[in-house]
Amino acid sequence: MFTISPHPSLLLLSLWFQSTQGRCVFDEVQQSVRVVTPVTGSSPTKHIEVSDSLAVFPASEQIGAFRWTRGTSLQYLQPQRTRGQAMTDMAPIRISTWIPQESVPLSEVDRERLDSAINQTVRIVSGLLSVRHIPGPLLLSRDINKYCKFIWRNASAANYNRCGRANGSYRNETCLDVVIPDEHLRGCAVFHHPDSPISAEFRREGAGLDNTDFLLYLHIQNSRRCSTEPSMLAYAAHCQTDPQGRPLAGTVVICREQLRQERYRHETTVQVLIHELFHVLGFSRTLFNTWRDCFHTRQAGMGCLPHGRVTNLDDTGHMRIYTQSVVRALQEHLNSTDPQLGGPLENVVHTTYYIHFYDYDADSGGLSSHWEARVLLGSIMTAALGEPSTVQIDHMTLAALQDTGWYSANFSRAQSLVWGQGSMFK
């Protein structure tokens, strides 16, 4: 029922039509970013270290898309009992923003415009998503493969996986093209002997960011992407995750020209920023398979095990996300109990002809980080957003973010939210 029109001219027309509204280039951008995850033993918080030990459980057999309906192989877990607990230690996500030095300076007016859009974006998103707060300051990790020339690889040595020799030409860590300030980064040390605890500090530990669960760098730029695609407003990528896979930091590049009075549209900007923020928080094809299953595998209120693969082709060859809340949300949306109703992702075009001629937003595996607009038109997570009044932070999108296992979503807000009507933009 959701098959793509097989007629080539229709397909081309619709691709062209969408791109005039400015398609999101997130997947292409994210693909270019090397994501840093702390190595075992240097987790950012004690809490995460504890829950990380769960990762030694077998990741359960993957029964593909429908695992939750047959989740009996996970007997050591108690879904009913833990479901309630799951939400209790969650609190609205605290998102800090940071404008790096390399951003182009803005006039005061343009700066106020941006501040207002950012503040609203952060307010909306933290009203929608809760997370287990990071105790203490957020510190990002340094990439051991960058600062280190030699890593101890003997698993029985005390300094296993630690740095044995520093890389003298190590400079910094980056997030997209932002240089991460040293103040935001953990320190690092060099252990000259595989078993000796004696180490030499190589970089000092920064102070980190207080009251922060996610750090968003705002890079205001006239980048090449901005200038080659005049309707481009912003694009983003995440660059750091915690050991559970939850993104901790990302960058959104905001195209400078879009902030000028003549072009600026507040509601569009906020919607695009929310869209990009949802990507970097987890609605991302590079993260789908690191989502955590908190329905079947939550243990004693702590960690949730990886889902394994959450995407699958349906009978018509359409790629969908099959996780509990997403399936239920779509079933409700379509008033159906069909178990094949996973969240439809924008489809890959199987004919290579189209891939060659159009920079289609899906990789060869058929994955895209956007909903299929033919089914979820108006959703904030379709690749091209329409008029602000037609765009919604829909139930499906919140269901997907909830199913990352990193967040709990406030669904009552999704239902009441209608762009341009509610109080959010007034």
Ligand X SMILES: *[C@@H]1O[C@H](CO)[C@@H](O)[C@H](O)[C@H]1NC(C)=O
Residues involved in catalysis:
276
**Comparison of 137 and 194: residue with beta carbon closer to ligand X:** 194
Backbone angles phi, psi at 58, to 5 degrees: -60, 140
**Strand pairing report for 129-132 and 408-409:** antiparallel
Question: What six digits make up the tokens of 113?
Answer: 């415009």
410 part of the interface to ligand X, by CB under 6 A: yes
One residue of 171, 412, 423, 426 binding ligand X per CB under 6 A: 412
Q: Does 335 bind ligand X (CB under 6 A)?
A: yes
Torsion on CA atoms 100, 104, 110, 116, rounded to nearest 10: -20
Closest separation in Å from C-beta 339 to ligand X: 15
Q: Long-range contacts for 386-395 (Cβ within 8 Å, ≥24 apart)?
A: 386/21, 388/265, 388/267, 388/268, 388/271, 388/419, 388/420, 388/425, 389/419, 389/420, 389/421, 390/419, 391/271, 391/419, 392/417, 392/418, 392/419, 393/124, 393/128, 393/274, 393/417, 395/329, 395/332, 395/333
Identify the residue among 154, 211, 222, 389 touching ligand X (CB under 6 A). 154
Which one-letter amino acid corresponds to residue 346? Answer: E
Asked if residues 43 and 245 have their Cβ atoms less than 8 Å apart, the reply is no
CB of 162 to ligand X, least distance (A): 13
Interface region with ligand X, contact rule CB under 6 A, candidates 100-108, 151-159, 176-184, 257-265: 151-159
376 counts as binding Zn ion under rule CB under 5 A: no
- Options 137, 181, 194, 308; binder of ligand X; rule CB under 6 A: 194
List the beta bridge partners of residue 191: 199
Tokens of 271: 């919607």
Among 72, 156, 364, 423, binds ligand X (CB under 6 A): 156
Closer to Zn ion by CB, 24 or 280: give it: 24
Give CA–CA dist 37/24, Å, rounded: 25
Smallest distance, ligand X to C-beta of residue 36, A:
27
Within 157-176, the residues that bind ligand X by CB under 6 A are 157
Binding mask 15-34 for Zn ion (x = CB under 5 A): ---------x-x--------
Binding window for ligand X (CB under 6 A); candidates: 57-65, 181-189, 322-330, 409-417: 409-417
Q: Give residues in contact with Zn ion (CB under 5 A).
A: 24, 26
Residues that bind ligand X (CB under 6 A): 154, 156-157, 194-195, 335, 410, 412-413
